[in-house]
Amino acid sequence: MKIGIGNDHAGFPMKKELVPILESMGHEVIDYGTHNDERCDYPVYGEKVANAVAVGEVDCGVLLCGTGIGMSLVANKVRGIRAAAVSEPYSAKLSKMHNNANIICLGARVIGIETARMICEEWLGAEFEGGRHQDRIDLIMAIQDNQ
Ligand code: RB5
């Protein structure tokens, strides 16, 4: 899969460890920055990855900030994005199976790299179940369309 990855300064150290892990799983990783640990604004990088996913430049996205929360708030502003902030593998798997999350957001100050690896494995390996879950996603998207 082609994965877009983005982060702020808080997520930068984890990205350095996570990119080779994702590549070793056979994925291509496109890095949208930031590329160092100087303080920066997470919305800038969250938007870049969310847009890349929304237009199909990449298949899905991984966003890293201190908690994962800021990045999820940003990404979910972009039409067509379903970003899930998760801190354990079970929710990661269900975020794909039930919510068809196309971006996963990780808190680099909350979880360690092994948990991040397990989250990515579960999420990338899971399949969306469709059916009633698609109906619910359609309801979510309708909220956006009705704004
Ligand atoms: C940066 O200090 C921190 O606020 C950011 O990484 C993130 O946790 C925001 O949600």
Tell how many helices (H) and how many strands (E) occur in the chain: 6, 5
pLDDT value of position 93: 98
- Which mutation among 42, 69, 71 tests ligand 1's pocket best, with the greatest number of atoms within 8 A of CB? 42
Region 107-115: mean pLDDT is 98
Sole residue written with tokens 């309801």: 139
Region 43-49: mean pLDDT is 98
- pLDDT tens for residues 3-39? 999 999 999 999 999 999 999 999 999 999 999 999 9
Percent of the chain with pLDDT over 70: 100
Catalytic residues: 65, 98
Of all protein residues, the one whose alpha carbon is nearest to atom 10 of ligand 1 is: 70
Angle between helices 89-97 and 113-125 (to 10 degrees): 20
Sole residue written with tokens 């899930």: 84
* 24 contacts: CB under 8 Å, gap ≥ 6: none
Percent of the chain with pLDDT over 90: 97
Phi, psi of 34 (to 5 degrees): -70, 160
pLDDT value of position 145: 85
Query: Given a cut of 90, is residue 127 above it in pLDDT?
Result: yes
Question: Pick the residue with more confidence: 125 or 147?
Answer: 125
- Rounded to the nearest angstrom, the distance between the alpha carbon of 80 and the centre of ligand 1 is 24
**Is the pTM value of this prediction over 0.85?**
yes
Residue 79 gets the label, from left (phi > 0), alpha (psi -120 to 50) or beta, of: beta
- Which mutation among 39, 45, 67, 106 tests ligand 1's pocket best, with the greatest number of atoms within 8 A of CB? 67
Tokens of 21: 């892990």
What is the pLDDT confidence band of residue 82, given thresholds at 50, 70 and 90? Answer: very high
Query: How far is the CA of 39 from the CAs of 8, 34, 113, 145, in angstroms?
Result: 7, 10, 21, 35
pLDDT value of position 147: 84
C-alpha span between 1 and 91 (Å, rounded): 21
